[in-house]
Structure 1
Amino acid sequence: MSLYGCHQKDSAAPGTAAPAKTIITALIWAPDWPEEMLQIAAEFSKENPDIGVNVQFMVGNSVEANIKPRVASGNLPDLVSVNPNAYSAELADQHILADVSQTAAWNNMIDPLKGDWTSHQSKAFGISGGVATVLMYYNEDMFEKAGIKTLPTNFREFLAVCEQLKRAGFTPIMWNGGFPNMLGNGPFSAGFANNVVARDPAWKKKIDDGTLNLNTPAVADIFAKMALMPERGYVQDGFMATDYDSGIRLFKEGKVAMAIHGSWAAGLLLHGNPFETGVFIPPWNAPGKRVVPIVGSETGFAVCETPNKVAAMRFLEFIAARGFAMLQAKRQNISPFRQNTGAIAGDPKIVEYTNVVSRYPVTASPYYSVLPSNSIERLHRLMQDVLLNRITPRQAAQLLDASVKNEAKMHYK
């Protein structure tokens, strides 16, 4: 979809040339806020009549899969959604993504997030779309009717809650089998946090240099927990066909009791429901072990090194200022900025949750910040293959380990 892709009729006086208009292309990941992105582009062009914005939306299961063909063909957008990971950082060091360190948006971004958006060569390659947390949303009415009085604090207790909900006639949890991006953000990220990050403080460096061993029972357990939910009948029918939007609908319509999802969907999952919604930390930890929550950066925005870079920088500044206020009205996520002119605060439940988990001694990042880009795509297939019983959890761990080590061998210096 695009806005202002055509020049308007010249209304200048006869004999005078109409001012030149720059059309920039924005390639955007917006699975649940496309209308807001179009609104942002329209408002920007009203304030900047010399710039039009051609908005194109990413499709599929990952940001990286949308970017790679454009990079390979040299058909770069002017502004693009990116993740705060090694792939994006490498694009910056290869002079594909522009340095945004001189923008007001970068200076206004909270300091704890800036490390996520800084490359090995100290280039600031993007602006975060929000503070990302992964949490469990739950239907308080269903929990009450099932007689659940205490929220689970470890995985054993979580299974007991699921069983109690099932016996009460409820489907315990929504599983996004048809949208592996959310399997990665949800059960994989939670499993990686508690089974890997909690056990090895040097996990980030070891992923980079290829020395982190993921071919272990602990990593196999991440996939095993994922498969255990459908094996025990705790997920919705047809879960392998459930995409992003239909998964959210299942929760909002009261057809499932829980959804492990991101803070970026707080506006959808917390509001407009015919029931009260609560939140708690996904208890993927073993009994006696402290849970490791997920806190990091959301997918954000970068500017490419194109002839329209200056115009794209202006659009980036708008997105991070007035544009962010437009997003907040729907998304209710946590702002990545120190000051938010015109923006409303995130949902109080999400604000409180984020404040609490940010103080934990050990936290982990979302999976899209953790794994190499090719391993993200590999993981998507592995998770679905495990859920379809094509491979075992142990085989999935072995294949993921091989992928991550191969990426390190190719890129680590």
Structure 2
Amino acid sequence: MTCLSACEQTPDSSKPAAAVKPTILTALVWAPDWPDQMHEIAAAFTRLHPEIQVDVQFMIGNSVEENLKPKIASNNLPDIFSVNPNRYTAELADQGLLADLGDTAAWDNMHDFLKADWTSRQRQRFGIAGGVATTLIYYNRDLFARAGISTPPTDFDAFLNSCTMLKKAGITPLALSGGFPNMLANGPFSSGFSNNIAAAVPDWKARIANGSLALDTPQAADIFARMKLLAERGCLQKNYMQTGYDEALRLFVDGKAAMTFQGSWAAGTLLRDKKFQSGIFMPPWNDAGRQPVPVIGSETGFAVGETRNKQAALLFLDFLYGPGFVIEQNKRQNIPPLKQLAGPAVVDQQIFDYVSRLENTEVSAGPYYSYLPSGTIDLLHPLLQDVLFGKKSPQQAAQILNQSLRDQAHTNNK
């Protein structure tokens, strides 16, 4: 009986072991032009690591920072997320909110000339670039020829003249996404800043940091005035203030606009699989007789949060910049931030050659999101729209921007 009782209490080894719950990574991603590829990358990673699942969520609105601020405030930081290489993100790293990525394969494989963008004042290596970023003008060679334009313009007056010639030929000159102020800032603002400010003030970055960069000036007002002049001269499509990011791309791809002001990140969409020949040229936001100053730097990239899932997120980061990067690259065809890719990938030769020429330029400025304080970024977006709507003059916009930089420097340097 004792033996029988003991036997009856033996655990049933035929029952399956309890399933181990997978780790769920939260990934908050800025991917306006490659959401499908991000889902594909996440699925491929989970097939390789079935114990880890990736909950992909996409950022909305006009900036990375406006998506992150409420997450930080509510102590709800994602495990891996898109970030910009600016002071705001660097300070998150110095506050201990971001993981140091210096020991990852992704950091080791990133081009060395990009690493300074992603290193904080306390030497925290807080992010990996999404690509080498530059803003440029894509143009339809066939429509230029129809309007009698043999070569792209090389200064701002020549650009306006090209717009006039295109209009006379019944062609919409430029597709601009006024409803998506992120591209107003990446496009006309960044090019205006690089030519009007960075070219004249060698220590402009330090002056932004300490609040001494003067932008209540005619040169700063001219940044806004040139953008407004595009509208006043009829260079833009109808309803340009209601045009979003995707619609502006479609207008160009469908041959309904001769040019669009875009970033290198859109090369895969704008330079292939069309019924016309596309070209690119540096935005000629310079005066006649002066060299144009390019916009070039790091594209929005990724950081890992100091969360309980940090190790799994670091594993996903290396996959994202390993086999996963090829999936993304074959869609986007921009300039990879990596020394070596994990497999064959497509790079548009026009973009590659263009960026190669810019890398050794003596004077340049990065995209606006890499040097403006986060509070100024939030202010700049509606300010650009207000100028186009006529609610603010270019001079008023420059004064408001100037005050914002001073206020942000005062706050940050307390």
Q: Do they superpose with TM above 0.5? A: yes
Q: Distance in 2 between matches of 1:28 and 1:226?
A: 30
Q: Distance in 2 between matches of 1:363 and 1:336?
A: 18
**CA offset at residue 247 of structure 1?**
0.5
CA-based RMSD of the aligned residues comes to 1.1
Structure with bigger gyration radius = 2
Deviations along 1:191-243, one digit per CA (max 9) or x if unpaired, are 00000000011000110111111111101000000101111111000000000
- Using structure 1 for the length normalisation, give the TM-score: 0.96
> Could you say which residue in structure 2 is the equivalent of 1:150?
151
Q: Which runs of 5+ in 2 are unaligned?
A: 1-12
> Could you say which residue in structure 2 is the equivalent of 1:382?
383
**CA offset at residue 13 of structure 1?**
6.4
Code of the aligned partner of 1:51 = I
Deviations along 1:100-137, one digit per CA (max 9) or x if unpaired, are 11101001100110000000100000011000011110
Q: Distance in 1 between matches of 2:367 and 2:46?
A: 34
Code of the aligned partner of 1:82 = V
Q: Secondary structure at the match of 1:137?
A: strand
**CA offset at residue 412 of structure 1?**
2.3
> Could you say which residue in structure 2 is the equivalent of 1:177?
178
User: Does the 8 A contact of 1:326 with 1:343 survive in 2?
Assistant: no
Q: Distance in 2 between matches of 1:59 and 1:269?
A: 22
Code of the aligned partner of 1:319 = L
Q: Distance in 2 between matches of 1:374 and 1:249?
A: 31
Code of the aligned partner of 2:45 = F
Q: Secondary structure at the match of 2:321?
A: helix
User: Does the 8 A contact of 2:82 with 2:300 survive in 1?
Assistant: yes
Q: Distance in 1 between matches of 2:95 and 2:403?
A: 26
Q: Distance in 2 between matches of 1:274 and 1:378?
A: 40
Q: Which runs of 5+ in 1 are unaligned?
A: 1-11
Q: Distance in 2 between matches of 1:277 and 1:13?
A: 66
**CA offset at residue 175 of structure 1?**
1.3
User: Does the 8 A contact of 1:171 with 1:236 survive in 2?
Assistant: yes
Q: Distance in 2 between matches of 1:172 and 1:318?
A: 42
> Could you say which residue in structure 2 is the equivalent of 1:347?
348
> Could you say which residue in structure 2 is the equivalent of 1:88?
89
Q: Distance in 2 between matches of 1:402 and 1:296?
A: 26
Q: Secondary structure at the match of 1:255?
A: coil
**CA offset at residue 15 of structure 1?**
4.3
> Could you say which residue in structure 1 is the equivalent of 2:35?
34
User: Does the 8 A contact of 2:136 with 2:280 survive in 1?
Assistant: yes
Q: Distance in 2 between matches of 1:98 and 1:351?
A: 31
> Could you say which residue in structure 2 is the equivalent of 1:127?
128
**CA offset at residue 150 of structure 1?**
2.2
> Could you say which residue in structure 1 is the equivalent of 2:337?
336
Code of the aligned partner of 1:225 = R
> Could you say which residue in structure 1 is the equivalent of 2:10?
none
User: Residues 15-94 of structure 1 correspond to what in structure 2 (within 5 A)?
Assistant: 15-94=16-95
User: Residues 73-222 of structure 1 correspond to what in structure 2 (within 5 A)?
Assistant: 73-222=74-223
Q: Distance in 2 between matches of 1:176 and 1:368?
A: 17
Deviations along 1:294-342, one digit per CA (max 9) or x if unpaired, are 1100000000011011111011111011111000111000010111121
Q: Secondary structure at the match of 1:250?
A: helix
Q: Distance in 2 between matches of 1:42 and 1:15?
A: 27
**CA offset at residue 19 of structure 1?**
2.8
Deviations along 1:267-309, one digit per CA (max 9) or x if unpaired, are 0011122110000000000111111011100000000011011
Q: Distance in 2 between matches of 1:84 and 1:165?
A: 38
Q: Distance in 2 between matches of 1:53 and 1:192?
A: 39
User: Does the 8 A contact of 1:334 with 1:345 survive in 2?
Assistant: no
User: Residues 237-316 of structure 1 correspond to what in structure 2 (within 5 A)?
Assistant: 237-316=238-317
Q: Distance in 1 between matches of 2:124 and 2:230?
A: 42
User: Does the 8 A contact of 2:85 with 2:298 survive in 1?
Assistant: yes
Q: Secondary structure at the match of 1:37?
A: helix
> Could you say which residue in structure 1 is the equivalent of 2:5?
none
Code of the aligned partner of 1:267 = G
Q: Secondary structure at the match of 1:379?
A: helix
> Could you say which residue in structure 2 is the equivalent of 1:7?
none
User: Residues 358-397 of structure 1 correspond to what in structure 2 (within 5 A)?
Assistant: 358-397=359-398
Code of the aligned partner of 2:383 = L
Runs of 4+ in structure 1 deviating by more than 3 angstroms, as ranges, are: none
Instruction: Note closer, same or farther for the CA distance 1:368–1:343 as it changes in structure 2 (3 Å cut).
Output: farther
Percent identical pairs in the alignment equals 55
Q: Distance in 2 between matches of 1:382 and 1:340?
A: 40
Q: Distance in 2 between matches of 1:258 and 1:201?
A: 31
Q: Distance in 1 between matches of 2:168 and 2:200?
A: 35
- Using structure 2 for the length normalisation, give the TM-score: 0.96
Code of the aligned partner of 1:358 = E
